[in-house]
Chains A and B, each alone.
Chain A
Amino acid sequence: MVDSQTSQPSNPVIEVRKLRKEFGVLKALDGISFNLERGEFLSVFGPNGAGKTTLIKILSGLTRPSSGTARVAGFEVEGGHPEMRREIGVISHSTALYGDLTPLENLIFFGKMYGLGRLKELALTALEDVGLAPRRHDPVRTFSRGMIQRLSIARAILHDPSILFLDEPFTGLDIQASNVLKENLITLHNKKRTILMTTHDVSCGLEMCDKVALQVMGRFAFFEDVEGINKDKFEEMYFDAVRDKQFAMGIRHS
């Protein structure tokens, strides 16, 4: 297992120490440790069932860890401090949007929940940013998967969070929608947002991130800066991991 604490960042925005989560006998997370500094983009790859979603749920305060600690934006994640929740935006497998409401109504509702001002203006700008302004009065249930995913991004960044957790955001998107999403994420990265994204899309994940992790059986089997990583070798390693979850017991570096 890789101990990613070896290169200690000066002021980590996300600080995870020996994080464990057990569901009965199943270990979803098995002692993960890592740091992320402000503005860094971490792509986490891993086979299904590796514990990637659990990691995001714990970091966003939705689930309590069994042991270990995690601090996000300076707050302990356990208990989900309201100020911490104000600093994060989450895009998960589910859209977290109301199908019977229009995009504008959805964003206005979530904006009210965050206590934001000048809501209509803010919501319209967010819709323009993700290219959905022309459809702002249509019910969300009539949208394609790609449009819904873009709206999910608008919802997640409406309150201008400094940290984003994205759980497989490219799932089910066609090439055009993927490209739009990618552009949105690159813009957010350029704006110094700290991003943690789980994905199965190696090219996309490696292209955008600063750091790469490979999570297998609840552990980070690989955690490195993206610079110097050979894409082909990493891809091979990832496919090995998917093929053989026992990979978690070994340590690989590119």
Chain B
Amino acid sequence: MSMNKDTILKVEDLKTYFPTRTGIFKAVDGVSFELKRGKTLCVVGESGSGKSVTARSILQIVDKPGRIESGSVLLTRADGSLTDLAKLDPRGKDIRSVRGKEIAMIFQEPMSSLSPVHRIGTQIGEALRIHFGTPKKEQRERVLELLRQVEIPRPETAIDRYTFEFSGGMRQRVMIAMALACNPQVLIADEPTTALDVTTQAEILDLIKKLQQSHGMAVLFITHDMGVVAEIADEVLVMYRGKVMERGPVEQIFHAPQDDYTRRLIGSVVKLEKKAEVRLTRTAIPAEAAPLLDVKNLSLTFPSGLKAVDDVSLTVRPGETLGIVGESGSGKTTMGRCLLRIYDPQAGAIDFRRPDGKTVDIRTADRAELKNIRREVRMIFQDPVGSLSPRKNVGQIIAEPLKLAGMRGRELDDRVAELMAQVDLEPAWRERYPHAFSGGQRQRIGIARAIAVKPRLIVADEATSALDVSLRSQMLDLMMKLQDELGLSYVFISHDMSVIRYMCDRVAVMYRGRIVETGDTDQVVNHPQHDYTRALLSAIPHPDPRDRRIHKRFRYDPARTVSANG
């Protein structure tokens, strides 16, 4: 059992199984890897690939009824001895002395991983009390030092605050401070930045890197984002359905992948790095064409006083895709919903050009008019689960708008079958219920429902953000195919710049309810004019380990000062 002296953790042939009613689900199936001092290993894979279960198996915190079937997890303790963590009792004292002290973990959801009823200081101090029995006074000193290390502003006041007073990024910093409390040798980070905005993500990635260097930790970083992998990894482990597809240095994974699956994964990521091929062959839309949708000075203030949409003006030309990009809380979803009058904006105009050439203002349209407009302007929702009624089968869901438009009988059946074929779903599946479909298929059902009544404009709100990267480009290609077939225009709302760049002709950048920049996608992406756009673009991880750049990113500091927790 000789180990390289830099190797802290050695996982060999780990198997974690979940017994189910119909057999055994092999969540982790023979995974081996090593963690080395001061190095970062990224475990990458799509949802359901077993990457989180792998991490949880190391600390034996797998959810029931899963259990470690076989394999070993050898940890080199601080005193040089070797312990096989897989052999320890999951509730025993031995494993608890490892958790938090030698191997610390941070989770995806910083809100639910922190207790809302304890102060920050108490929560961080807890690990110190449990593992070292540090007295109260020293504890506070140490916590302050930790908060300083994770760069939380004004640690002296932050230590006595509650987690709900902090933003997502700050909470994740608190989680990291907690993880660092006992100077662990290994840090396991399970999608720590997935719930965060790109600019915040960049900050957290920076912080983890910095702390890793100063503490000499080994980091096991789990993510589905190849961009993040390229930015931080030393070594990469590609997982698919519980198995390791490929393991190697980051350079090899990105530039000379050996395995087919890796190659395809990298392929779908790289594909999203540029403009869609379909769009290259299209003829340019004349700039002087009369706009299909002309939004002027739209404003919406919620009863709470929040100005969600603040004086927004934009136009969509026929056949065009307009991207709306912004971070969470920028008001982009609210704005999209205003276009269909799901919310009632208080001021401005939404002029929509009807097929007969007349324009109507959606903002002030009456009920009957609105009903007609809503057949021409449709919506695709973000959540493929919540947007389909679980109690209706697919045929019924797609038929609903058609039925309401007065279609009946044979004609209706044929149209539903035709629509399903159009979005590449088997028409024979119409009897099936949404729970029998995967996320990507459900999103196709949502698209079929949207195009059923032959609309002219579709508002797509984060239509691909719930999907794995390999499905994303498929979905976008489908949407562009339909655009060509049906002469559609899209308002495409997304937080993901790569999706916008792939799909959109023009883009509008939203920040705090306002549009800070509008222009052709190429123009905005390559030569951003506004500082916020520049900051947003530079914070996006670039899926090429030879060109790591988020640490050189541009930081936007608006004139309005951001509060400590902002």
B is bound to A = no
Report B's interface with A, CB cutoff 8 A: none
Report A's interface with B, CB cutoff 8 A: none
